């Protein structure tokens, strides 16, 4: 059955990424992790100084909110620059853990244990 | 977009989740974030116009200078692969457009209440109730005083029977942890019930 196949293909990439959808360009949430690509891809163009600063700050994974604070810039401005960097292949992003109200008992128990250790 | 996703590139970063700390101005949101965060609460400023507010909506804002909104946040590393962020959200109703963004993907919320002026937290309670975002009430006892029992507060706030009301001290880590734990236990119970398992909380 052809119809079943099509449906399967539509669902598959979503399952492969653990239920995470790929971020839209410009869809940086406050807790989206940003990581610099090291080494930079071949043929990378020169960057503006602010972009360079961002890349240095995200040599280690860092969330957008923290990045904005370190740069002392509004989140909305930082997001625009992150879009540029994403487009240029200089960063990769990891969207937040999707929150489902009904399934993720394991995640909640992990958070619970983490709080107990606090 | 192939290749922009961290996992696709074999890069590992911790998973991130968040909890919102809401309530009126001066109820102790920043204090609570600071009490449990492993970093000094950080602050970002968001210009109102850029955050998607129409010009007309700015009419209600008396202060011309009040064109940015501050957002506090803190961090709790749960494990190597999971980090919890806490966001202290601006309490006033005029910032609701921002709460919408903040609420997306949040595990739940703590609404802090100052019993001397509980009405300052009504907007926050309304917001989470309407959007069916799980929350608990933390009654921040200024000067360690708790003149009302949780039951009285639940009634005064017209909360549903099951709603948790916890007396707390936003300055104390242990006390804040209890509030957060109560929220997580509530989520665990709801999730377990939805999955057809009996709730198991320790
Ligand atoms: N005595 C006392 N002061 C508190 C308590 N919680 C917060 N405060 C103080 O109340 C003021 C407002 O608290 P803050 O956390 O900034 O409120 P926010 O506007 O909700 O972020 C600050 O000066 C705090 O130091 C408390 O439990 N007891
Ligand atoms: Mg504050």
Tokens of B170: 């936003």
Neighbours of B116 (CB within 10 A): 10
Q: Do A109 and B188 touch (CB under 8 A)?
A: yes
Rounded Cα gap, residues A21 and B31, in angstroms: 35
pLDDT tens digits along B60-98:
444 434 456 788 999 999 999 999 999 998 777 777 777
pLDDT tens digits along B140-196:
998 878 999 999 999 999 998 889 999 999 999 999 999 999 999 999 999 998 888
**Which ligand 1 atom sits nearest the alpha carbon of residue B88?**
21
Residue A76 has pLDDT above 90, yes or no: no
Q: How many domains does chain A have?
A: 1
pLDDT tens digits along A86-115:
988 999 999 998 887 666 899 999 999 999
- Complex prediction ipTM: 0.84
Residue A81 has pLDDT above 50, yes or no: yes
**Which ligand 1 atom sits nearest the alpha carbon of residue B25?**
19
Q: Is B47 on the interface with A (CB under 8 A)?
A: yes
Rounded Cα gap, residues B170 and B37, in angstroms: 12
Residue B200's pLDDT is what? 54
Q: B15-194 in CATH: which number?
A: 3.40.50.300
Ligand 2 mean position, distance from CA A84 (Å): 32
Rounded Cα gap, residues B151 and B159, in angstroms: 10
Q: Which of B23, B28, B116 to mutate to test the pocket of ligand 1 (most atoms within 8 A of CB)?
A: B28
* DSSP-assigned letters across all residues of chain B: -TT-BTGGGT----EEEEEEEE-STTSSHHHHHHHH-SSPPEEEEEETTTTT--GGGGGG---TT--EEEEEEEEEEEETTEEEEEEEPP-SGGGHHHHHHHHTTEEEEEEEE-TTSGGGGHHHHHHHHHTT--EEEEEE-GGG---S-HHHHHHHTT--TT--EEEE-TT-HHHHHHHHHHHHHHHHHHHHHHTT------
Residue ranges per structural domain of chain B: 15-194
Q: Do A30 and B4 touch (CB under 8 A)?
A: no
Pocket of ligand 1 (CB under 6 A): B 23, 25-31, 88, 140, 142-143, 169-171
Band the pLDDT of A15: cuts 50, 70, 90.
very low
Q: What is the mean pLDDT of chain B?
A: 83
Its pTM stands at: 0.83
Ligand 2 mean position, distance from CA B5 (Å): 34
């Amino acid at each position: 059955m052809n119809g079943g196949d099509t449906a399967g293909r539509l669902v598959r990439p979503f399952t492969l990424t653990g239920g995470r959808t790929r971020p839209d360009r410009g869809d940086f949430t406050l807790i989206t992790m940003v990581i610099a690509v090291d080494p930079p891809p071949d043929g990378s163009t020169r960057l503006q100084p602010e972009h360079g600063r961002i890349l240095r700050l995200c040599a280690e994974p860092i969330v957008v909110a923290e990045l904005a604070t370190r740069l002392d810039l509004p989140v909305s401005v930082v997001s625009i620059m992150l879009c540029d960097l994403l487009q240029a292949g200089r960063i990769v992003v990891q969207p937040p853990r999707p929150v489902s109200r009904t399934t993720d008992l394991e995640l909640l128990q992990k958070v619970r244990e983490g709080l107990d250790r606090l | 977009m192939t290749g922009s996703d961290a996992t696709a590139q074999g890069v590992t970063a911790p998973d991130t989740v968040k909890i919102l700390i809401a309530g009126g101005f001066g109820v102790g949101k920043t204090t609570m974030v600071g009490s449990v965060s492993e970093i000094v609460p950080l602050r970002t400023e968001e210009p109102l116009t850029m955050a998607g507010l129409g010009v007309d909506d700015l009419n209600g804002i008396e202060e011309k200078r009040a064109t940015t909104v501050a957002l506090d946040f803190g961090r709790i590393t749960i494990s190597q692969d999971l980090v919890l962020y806490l966001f202290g959200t601006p309490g006033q109703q005029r910032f609701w457009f921002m709460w919408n963004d903040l609420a997306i993907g949040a595990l739940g919320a703590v609404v802090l209440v100052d019993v001397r002026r509980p009405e300052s937290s009504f907007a926050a309670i309304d917001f989470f109730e309407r959007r069916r975002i799980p929350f608990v009430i933390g009654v921040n006892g200024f000067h360690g005083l708790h003149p009302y029992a949780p039951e009285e507060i639940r009634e005064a706030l017209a909360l549903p029977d099951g709603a948790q009301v916890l007396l707390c001290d936003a300055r104390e880590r242990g006390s804040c942890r209890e509030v957060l734990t109560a929220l997580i236990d509530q989520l665990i119970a709801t999730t377990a019930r939805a999955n057809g398992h009996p709730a198991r909380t320790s």
